[in-house]
Amino acid sequence: MNTAASAIDPSIPVADAARSAVVPGGRLSRLARLGSLATGVAGGMLAEGARQLAAGKRPKVSELVLTPANARRVAEQLAQLRGAAMKVGQLMSMDAGSLLPPELADILARLREDARTMPMSQVVEVLETHWGKGWEQGFERFSFTPCAAASIGQVHRARTRDGEELAIKLQYPGVRRSIDSDVDNVATLLRVSGLLPKALDLAPLLAEAKRQLHEEADYRREAESLHRFGGLLGDAEHFVLPRAVDALTRSDILAMSWVEGVAVETLADPQAADQALRDRVASLLIGLLFRELFEFRLIQTDPNFANYRFDAASGRVVLLDFGATRPYAEPVVEAYRRLMAGSVRGDRVTMGEAAQAIGYFQDNIHAHQRDAVIDLFEIACEPVRHPGAYDFGTSDLPLRLRDAGLKLSMERDFWHTPPADALFLHRKLGGLYLLAARLRARVDVAALAAPWLG
């Protein structure tokens, strides 16, 4: 038994081996993973092609690539790679989902749910690398079973000798070194596999994915963002967020105070929360986004439901994970103010000018395409225009947004990747809409937005 075992609470089991796997840290081992994935996809295509030919069919290449077996193969290999390979799939599935083939969107969506954990031996290696031998002497208890796992790291609960409860986020080995090559390799794999539309310009999105991942992989930077948001929300009695413990934080380890709470989506159960509580939680989060954009000009851009919890004892919403924090320049913020205000007034001219300032229109865009983009914004701003409480639970807003986006995306001369600022903001807003729908919340979005649009 490793010496670190003395710091383990024996009542807490080690992570299920079926859900843990050693993270490949070296460049060659990570490249080998991608190579085996490409070989597996090609083999699956040959097998499916032979089967269809034997049945007298003439299959298309896209049909051979997008078989259920290949879909599972892509998702499983990318999940094992984690890091940038997994993150680029997450970004693409959330930001360009309406522009991607449904089969690929389904593959990439699986990556958001499939985060495998490091085995105990690798966890110990990470801790000894950054905290040194004997690190366990500073802890009364350290659980090697992660309480959360994501694309670039996993979280463990611990108690110091002083009795302080902590959340310890550990970064998977090799993530920082592999970011650029992983992003490029995954994009290449998806291209050559025929899983992406040829006209889709991924270069800006991939460059932004690399930049964001390098920032997210710096846990000292995340600790700074945590301190900054803690100061900005110091007067907000309805929110609570962890406190970074600088003495234990390293580039690959983020130590934070432990904050109690249940997963926010559990409030969707009528026995767990009544309508008023669900409405209040969704209203707080949507109102916070307006404050982040128009007051702070600093947005936590990751809308993953796991980043929100609810502390029933205090009635406060718990905010987690500030690695994807992004500043917004004043001209961009003002353009979004004009866009939303124009939507409220029904002023499509102002909306078009604001969308142009944000960077949504290429020089060669057709008039009907420009109108279609403004139509999309009008749909997205529907809750902002709606008088009184907007019922997300009964609204078909997500479906209408999807259908409008799909209709526009069918025009191959329109393919255009919006600026990164827009992608991440829309990702956050869309995620909050989905959460409000999950909670079946009724939110007076117009009232929340009004102070910032006047």
**Catalytic positions:** 302
3-state DSSP assignment of residue 273: coil
Q: Are 389 and 442 in contact (CB under 8 A)?
A: yes
The candidate with the shortest Cα–Cα distance to 381, out of 354, 359, 352, 401, is 401
User: How many whole angstroms separate alpha carbon 246 and alpha carbon 227?
Assistant: 10
Quote the DSSP letter at residue 394.
T
CA pair distance 229, 321, nearest whole angstrom:
11
Of the candidates 79, 226, 223, 253, the residue with the CA atom closest to the CA atom of residue 156? 253
Q: Where do the H-state alpha helices sit in 7-119?
A: 27-54, 61-65, 68-81, 83-95, 102-113
Helix (H) or strand (E) segment spanning residue 140? strand 139-142
Tell me the three-class secondary structure of 100-116, residue by residue. Answer: CCHHHHHHHHHHHHCCC
Per-residue burial over 68-104, b = 16 or more CB atoms within 10 Å of its CB, e = otherwise: eebbebbbbbbbbbbbbbbbbbbbbbbbbbbbbeebb
The Cβ of residue 435 has, within 10 Å, a number of other Cβ atoms equal to 23
- Counting beta carbons within 10 angstroms of the beta carbon of residue 215, is it exposed (0 to 12), middle (13 to 18) or buried (19 or more)? middle
Q: Answer whether 131's CB lies under 8 Å from 123's CB.
A: no
Half-sphere exposure of 255 toward its Cβ, with a 13 Å CA cutoff? Answer: 17
SS3 category, 256: strand
Distance of CA 108 to the CA centre of its chain: 12
Q: Say whether 212 sits in a helix, a strand or coil.
A: helix
**Which candidate, 354, 292, 303, places its Cα nearest to that of 327?**
292
- In degrees to the nearest 10, what's the CA dihedral of 390, 384, 297, 166? 10
DSSP 152: S
- Phi–psi pair at 258, nearest 5 degrees: -80, 135
Q: How many residues does the chain have?
A: 454
Q: How far is CA 20 from CA 15, 110, 123, 155, in A?
A: 7, 17, 11, 14
